[in-house]
Amino acid sequence: MKKVIFFSALFSMIFSVQAADTALPAPVKKGGMTLNEALNARKTIRQYKSDMLSMQQISQLFWSAFGVNRADGRRTAPTARNCQEITLYMLTAKGAWAYAAKENKMIQVSNKDLRSFAGRFKAPIYIVIVSNSKLSGSSPRSLHYAAMDVGYVSQNIYLAAASMNLGTCAIGSIPKPDVLAQELKLTDSEKVLLTHSVGIPK
């Protein structure tokens, strides 16, 4: 009986660990909307349907934002001195996940719905852009570069959303960035700089 209980507990533990990590389908890297078409379609959307995005759409969105696009690990958006100080998080009604670009997967960091801390729009997904000064440096110039890097990622999100007929809005006036940082278990050197609401436009 003790063996049954032990293996049952072990199975539950293994399942819980695996459930926290969600592998993403490979992003599509050829075809699709042209750059000129995406630029023409790019706009800010603040009203969304409640429908959840597909895993393929999520994969495409996060890879476009700051995914790995070269064998040496460099990204779809530039960072000063290639310090790659940015981490992306996904917030949904079921929890929060950190985007692991090199492994192309989501790592769950919370089972709470944190979307209201990131923005006031009713969107199925929020993307949180976090910058780490431990990687970029904390001098005024380094922080200036980090803010520029966040802008590159934000524009990638806009273009990716446009190419998939999704809506998005960059949010600089974040309702509760400190609470969000605490819930995401960020370190003292990590700071929430920008969020994006994302969904299917109404």
Cβ neighbors of 48 (< 8 A, separation 6 or more) are: 121, 122, 123, 124, 167, 197, 198, 199, 200, 201, 202
Q: Where along the chain do its domains lie?
A: 24-199
Q: CA 167 to CA 160: how far, in whole Å?
A: 10
pLDDT at 91 over 80: yes
Helix (H) or strand (E) holding 23: strand 21-23
Which stretch of 13-27, 67-81, 107-121, 147-161 has the lowest confidence by average pLDDT? 13-27
pLDDT surpasses 60 at 187:
yes
Using CA atoms, how far apart are residues 69 and 77, in angstroms rounded to an integer?
A: 9
The pLDDT of residue 39 is above 60: yes
Question: Which amino acid is present at 33?
Answer: M
The whole-angstrom separation of Cα 40 and Cα 199 is: 19
Q: What is the mean pLDDT of residues 33-52?
A: 97
pLDDT band at 1 (very low <50, low <70, confident <90, very high): very low
Percent pLDDT > 70 in the chain is 91
Residue 17 — very low, low, confident or very high, per pLDDT cuts 50/70/90?
Answer: very low
Residue 181 above 80 pLDDT?
Answer: yes
Provide the pLDDT for residue 21.
86
Average pLDDT over residues 100-113: 97
At 39 the three-state DSSP class reads: helix
Q: How far apart, in whole angstroms, are the C-alpha atoms of residue 156 and residue 75?
A: 11
Beta-bridge mates of residue 68: 75
Q: pTM for the complete prediction?
A: 0.89
Residue 173's pLDDT band, with cuts at 50, 70 and 90, is very high
What's the CATH class of domain 24-199?
alpha beta
Using the predicted structure, report yes or no on whether residue 45 has a pLDDT greater than 60.
Answer: yes
Residues 6+ apart with CB under 8 A from 172: 194
Amino acid 2: pLDDT: 43
Computed over every residue of the chain, the mean pLDDT equals 91
